[in-house]
Amino acid sequence: MGRLQGKVALVTGAARGQGRAHCLRLAEEGADIVAVDALADNSQLAYGLATAQDMAETERLVGATGRGWLAQRADVRSQADMDAAVAAGVERFGPIDTVCVNAGISGYKGPSWEMAESGFEEILQVNLLGAWRTIKAVVPQMIAADRGGSIVFINSTLGLKGIPGLSAYSASKHGMLGLARCLTAELAPHNIRVNSVNPTGVGTVLIWNEQTFKHFRPDLENPTVEDATEAFKSLHLLDVPWVEAVDVANAVVFLASDEARYITGTAIPVDAGNLSR
């Protein structure tokens, strides 16, 4: 028996990276998975987003655990998409009682006043408003099911501090933490716990891209991940350049499980000492 046996978990941004890790760890602990992803690129970004092939690989991995799987192509920028994805999940598995609000993007890196309005707005649309739309879609059926539950926001150390060059991303993550804290109070009467996991950089394409490498190594014309590794390490007390997606997923599983039954309203860093440096 896994720690989440009999649970139904919804994960946004599920097709690859952190989302894939969340799906797999939740399934390994016994949850059936409703996996949501837009599966489309975003013209505002310097890196490609997940594909249908990525989602198929996540389905293969979850399938090997023996747990149920439902993939929904839905964009967190659309309330209609999110409402439909939740409805499909409930129809397939019954009430959703574990929610991993994971979908997120990172964009422009530079002075706040030089950023295009469209770029700033797009990060807020996905990271903050997308989180709110997910909640708006899933919470009513959680309340109606009357069996409690757990909501985990995948945030960032930049939801707890700011650094130069990432104002839109940091603003979106600070806003997400504010949303989580309000929901903590609003949903406590329904025994729905709300928490945040705040990792440092995670070894996924969100940081493994040319734009990020250039941000850390502006002295090089075409920096690689190897060129940027020491700069990434300098952010941490522990001798690692980043954490792995499974490290964040392990925190999600804990917060979703009964082991955390009285934990709500927290922001848990998975940060290799980033916030203490």
Contact 3, 255 (CB under 8 A): no
Contact 190, 145 (CB under 8 A): no
Q: Residue 169 catalytic?
A: yes
d(Cα 193, Cα 23) in Å, to the nearest integer?
A: 19
* Token code pair at residue 17: 């990276």
Q: What is the CA radius of gyration of the chain?
A: 18
* Token code pair at residue 75: 């964009």
- Report residue 8: phi and psi, to 5°: -120, 125
| Crossing angle of helices 130-145 and 79-93, rounded to 10° | 30
Contact 130, 175 (CB under 8 A): no
The CA-to-CA distance between both ends of the chain, in Å, stands at: 39
* Residues annotated as catalytic (active site), given as ranges: 169
